Structure 1
């Protein structure tokens, strides 16, 4: 019986010596949660007139943040974020109505998007013949 008590005491002390510092380290770890569990999605969108993105002067610009929630200065941020998520962040996949008839007026409109979509750098630019073609070709992402 004496040996059993000694072994029990020895095992208890060994467990305390080995596991004690580990328990203390776990308790001493900071309890601050990570800033975000989402990959960042924040964009600056611009619309301007000109022949190319290099020569166009941006007339309007908005910010669009989609993770963790839709926000920014975009007037329809929740809808724009939903459309971008549905398209997988591919701006070329954003298409609106095909049944819109536009004039053949040539007054080029340039749209750009720069920033980060789900943690990956994004830089998009496209030139349309006029505002009507832009509005018929794109969804609410560039409707501001």
Structure 2
């Protein structure tokens, strides 16, 4: 009986090992046809102060819009729908005109949005003059 030595034995072992591994792996997975969503995950805050860096944060929520609306936002689906309807432009939510009267007091409240909207980085900040102005401009997005 002859023994196979050296490179021939090593090559044969590698070839047989590769065949065994390929047979055990099974068929390749089917490509998915599901629609892929760009990430849309935000942290929203409301705080007292005239700018975010010095504001006293009162409330904060998470909002995920990649699949309908999730997170700690009390009405995530409606907030996501509103953001989608304005193309993710937060100014279109916070700076909308209103005929509702508000006092002219200066008691600033700042809202922020940090995170990712449809794959692009978002860092938004807007200061309202007072709580009445916030109610007008909060829309569904900052209503928490």
Question: Do they superpose with TM above 0.5?
Answer: yes
Q: Return 5+ residue gaps in structure 2 as ranges.
A: 1-22
- Equivalent residues in 2 for 1:11-22, closer than 5 Å: none
Superposition RMSD in Å: 2.3
Report the counterpart of residue 111 of structure 1 in structure 2.
111
Q: Return 5+ residue gaps in structure 1 as ranges.
A: 1-23
Q: Any conservation in 2 of the 1:42–1:64 contact (CA below 8 Å)?
A: yes
Counterpart CA distance in 1 for 2:128 and 2:141 is 15
Structure 1 residues 90-116: Cα deviation after superposition (integer angstroms, max 9, x where no partner): 101115561211111211000000011
Structure 2 residue matching 1:79: 3-state secondary structure: helix
Report the counterpart of residue 127 of structure 1 in structure 2.
127
Structure 2 residue matching 1:47: 3-state secondary structure: strand
- Equivalent residues in 2 for 1:59-78, closer than 5 Å: 59-78=58-77
- Equivalent residues in 2 for 1:49-88, closer than 5 Å: 49-88=48-87
Q: Any conservation in 2 of the 1:112–1:125 contact (CA below 8 Å)?
A: yes
- TM-superposed deviation, 1:53: 1.1
Counterpart CA distance in 2 for 1:76 and 1:50 is 25
Report the counterpart of residue 42 of structure 2 in structure 1.
43
Counterpart CA distance in 2 for 1:35 and 1:46 is 33
Counterpart CA distance in 2 for 1:96 and 1:78 is 21
Q: Any conservation in 2 of the 1:40–1:116 contact (CA below 8 Å)?
A: yes
Counterpart CA distance in 2 for 1:98 and 1:137 is 9
Count of matched residue positions in the alignment of Structure 1 and Structure 2:
119
